[in-house]
Structure 1
Amino acid sequence: MDGARTVLEALSIAVSAGVPTLVWGSPGTGKTSAVVALAESLSWPVEVVIGSIREPSDFAGLPVISDGTVRLAPPAWAQRLATAGHGLLFLDELTTAPPAVQAAMLRVVLERVVGDLRLPDKVQVVAAANPPEEAADGWEPAPPLANRFVHLDWPVDGRQIARGLAMGFPVPSLAGFARPASREQVMEARATVAAFLEIRPALALRVPSSSGTWGGSSSMGGASAGNPPDRGAWNAGAPGSAGHGWPSPRSWEAAAKLMAACKAAGASPDVLAVLVAGAVGEGAALEFLSWLEHLDLPDPMAVLAGPDAFELPRRGDRAFAVLTSVVAVAVAAGDVERWNAAWRVIAKAARTAPDVATLAARTLAGHRPPGAEIPAALLELSPILRSAGLLGD
């Protein structure tokens, strides 16, 4: 898959997953056209809000006195999106927005709140930005704002531009919308991320200390699950990449949503690598994707379908990942059959990995579905449940 198509698919999947997305690239390279084309392909209304010509009140709301009280009146673009009930909010020229305007955008991007108006859940946020040195009076996004986006680098390839001018530019893929992630897939992805952070807790939060630097551009077409993309010129994931993706609980949660969306859509390893690197930065993504590539986990649905045949992996991180995934899927399913099957898996795991089984049992015990009886497998687990405080003496 070439770089442009990889980024277009990544953009579509991020929007379908409800993760705010920031597309980086030089001026005049088609970022805005691609975003508008995505909205048109979905038959969604799109509101283009240009940061350089806006004031903080265009996002925080304009104070208005009404009946003796002050309310924050939303601008017309927000009211139109709220009336439509769905759509795309496109924040263009983000790096030309001064710091005060960027600060006002924070709540809009994360919570979709404009003044006193909450935008519908089906309104998604996409932004575009030029490298600060290529923007007129450019400002680097502050770390709190940057951490609310998944960052995608817009590739520029002369031959692809030539083909686009001659035969038309590629349109965004809608794979993420055709096959949205299920709740079970989202829970499984969250469990996988949790398993990684269990062995690499230092990567759960790495707040950048200073702004990074941008220099040049490169294609992301050679990315793979074990070799995340060279996100161009930005050293995302390095300690100083303040304006791009960096690891935090929020960005890891976004990475899990994107993983689930990629699995549901059948996306390529290139697309997954681009999205994970865009969420948590390249350094953290490199470690996570390399670990994931060699993890070779069984399908938790298959484990729940045949719990008696399941064998717990010997490697500690794999054992943790399998059990947390199995429990997450059972909890998401919410039915008695899979809840009971998960207890049988935990009972087997308790024989060789009681500590890991205790953690899984604690979660499963707190999500007992209606009508479920105490399973026989709990008899084997009585000692570890008692030590975990889940059973009385």
Structure 2
Amino acid sequence: MHALALAVGANLPVILWGAPGTGKTSAVLALGRHLGLPVEAVVGSVREPSDFAGLPVVREGATWFAPPRWAERLAAAGEGILFLDELTTAPPAVQAAMLRVVLERVVGDLELPPEVRIVAAANPPALAADGWELSAPLANRLVHLDWEVSAATVADGFTGGFAVPEVSSADPPSPTSLAASRALVGAFLRVRPALVLAVPDEPARGWPSPRTWELAATALACTAHDERARAELVVGAVGEAAGFELLSWVRDLDLPDPESLLYDPAAPLPDRVDRLHAVLGSVVAHVTADGGGEAWQRAWALVARVSRATPDVAAGAARSLAARRPEGTPLPSAMLEVAPILRAAGLMP
């Protein structure tokens, strides 16, 4: 339940998998009340594709795809939870119509506000009424969580009420933490390029793709102090094999603080290439969040230092820094050492 709450707070599209009658719907409705968010529950089995793609109508001589009332209510509220319940009872045509809703928050010709969260729930197809497997494109747009209940939790709930976990904030992670997490995922995929895309041969839940790695990066950013929720969300985004490998790699990194590296030219640097990628990525994220010219200039000294031994590692950071130069900041002399890299990238004449 706590992983679900964090996912909703970070605006990650999430799906709960569990047996019928285990309280998935009640939990989502309770979480919405706890966060003060309106919840619109939509069951795919009783909907047509036009309920998501929009109903074509003629307006002022042009065709307009009118959104359903539930979408209009969410748009008017400006925020909320779109709860796609009983998702595995939705036939393939309806699942296909949901794709743009889940990814882009677009229903017909109506664009939902960014603050509208997407939550789904599903029973395994074998346990669903006229169950369908989740299509690969739809599964690839969601973070998959197993919904489990224990006898003790149910007994306590009947005795004292079913509690909703406290959530410190309903806001997405900060741009700084998200940039740092994206840098970590990027560094990991440099050393494990085979995991960038691994389309399953059979119906599956989470699996690696550029889209789900983006979800995993957001999960890393919003679960810095909760290892269990971090594991649930990362694995739910990219699957067990890729997810646990990323988590193990991140846990073993032990990276130095980016700010200390900027202000200590003699600070030791990692020997491993993957750690160097992660270090430079975190420095670029820190400099971008700082936004100041001094930090940007100091970062070039670090990039130049790395380029002397491993120019390939320095290349990505050099390109990123060059594209993020604060307006009016003089070019540091350290850029001369990486000038060949910048010329190759077309960033320096």
Change (3 A) 1:383 1:67: closer
- Superposition TM-score, scaled by structure 1 size: 0.85
- Superposition TM-score, scaled by structure 2 size: 0.96
Change (3 A) 1:301 1:169: farther
- For 1:273 and 1:360, locate their aligned partners in 2 and report how far apart those are by CA, in whole Å: 28
Aligned twin of 1:367: 324
Aligned-pair distance for 1:200? 0.6
For residue 41 of structure 1, the aligned residue among 34, 37, 41 is 34
For residue 353 of structure 1, the aligned residue among 310, 328, 346 is 310
Kindly indicate whether residue 153 of structure 2 is the aligned counterpart of residue 195 of structure 1: no
Aligned twin of 2:236: 278
For residues 146-168 of structure 1, give each alpha carbon's deviation from its aligned partner in whole angstroms, at most 9, with x where no partner exists: 00000010012112211111122
SS state of the match for residue 309, structure 2?
Answer: coil
CA RMSD of aligned residues (A): 1.6
For residue 295 of structure 1, the aligned residue among 249, 253, 263 is 253
Kindly indicate whether residue 216 of structure 2 is the aligned counterpart of residue 255 of structure 1: yes
SS state of the match for residue 298, structure 1?
Answer: coil
Kindly indicate whether residue 132 of structure 2 is the aligned counterpart of residue 139 of structure 1: yes
Aligned twin of 1:207: 199
Change (3 A) 1:302 1:32: farther
AA paired with 1:285? G
- For 2:92 and 2:34, locate their aligned partners in 1 and report how far apart those are by CA, in whole Å: 33
For residue 126 of structure 1, the aligned residue among 97, 116, 119 is 119
AA paired with 2:318? A
Structure 1 window deviating more from structure 2 (144-153 vs 346-355): it is 346-355
The answer as to whether partners of 1:21 and 1:127 remain within 8 angstroms in 2 is yes
- For 1:138 and 1:310, locate their aligned partners in 2 and report how far apart those are by CA, in whole Å: 58
AA paired with 2:71? A
Aligned twin of 1:325: 282
Change (3 A) 1:314 1:137: same
Aligned twin of 1:337: 294
Change (3 A) 1:83 1:389: closer
Change (3 A) 1:121 1:55: same
AA paired with 1:361? A
Give 1:1-393 correspondences, 5 Å limit: 8-177=1-170, 180-211=172-203, 241=204, 244-263=205-224, 266=225, 268-304=226-262, 306-386=263-343, 389-392=346-349
- For 1:390 and 1:246, locate their aligned partners in 2 and report how far apart those are by CA, in whole Å: 36
SS state of the match for residue 223, structure 2?
Answer: helix
Aligned-pair distance for 1:333? 3.1
- For 1:302 and 1:165, locate their aligned partners in 2 and report how far apart those are by CA, in whole Å: 52
Could you tell me which runs of 5 or more consecutive residues in structure 2 were left unpaired when the two chains were aligned: none
Change (3 A) 1:340 1:160: same
The answer as to whether partners of 1:307 and 1:342 remain within 8 angstroms in 2 is no
The answer as to whether partners of 1:185 and 1:329 remain within 8 angstroms in 2 is no
SS state of the match for residue 139, structure 1?
Answer: coil
Aligned length: 349
Could you tell me which runs of 5 or more consecutive residues in structure 1 were left unpaired when the two chains were aligned: 1-7, 212-240
- For 1:101 and 1:177, locate their aligned partners in 2 and report how far apart those are by CA, in whole Å: 30
AA paired with 1:198? R
- For 1:52 and 1:384, locate their aligned partners in 2 and report how far apart those are by CA, in whole Å: 55
- For 2:303 and 2:348, locate their aligned partners in 1 and report how far apart those are by CA, in whole Å: 16
Change (3 A) 1:112 1:163: same
Change (3 A) 1:382 1:73: closer
Structure 1 window deviating more from structure 2 (287-296 vs 347-356): it is 347-356
Aligned-pair distance for 1:386? 4.6
AA paired with 2:61? G
The answer as to whether partners of 1:382 and 1:391 remain within 8 angstroms in 2 is yes
Aligned-pair distance for 1:307? 4.0
- For 1:28 and 1:57, locate their aligned partners in 2 and report how far apart those are by CA, in whole Å: 29
For residues 245-304 of structure 1, give each alpha carbon's deviation from its aligned partner in whole angstroms, at most 9, with x where no partner exists: 1100000011001111112xx3x2111000000000011112111111111112324433
The answer as to whether partners of 1:346 and 1:360 remain within 8 angstroms in 2 is yes
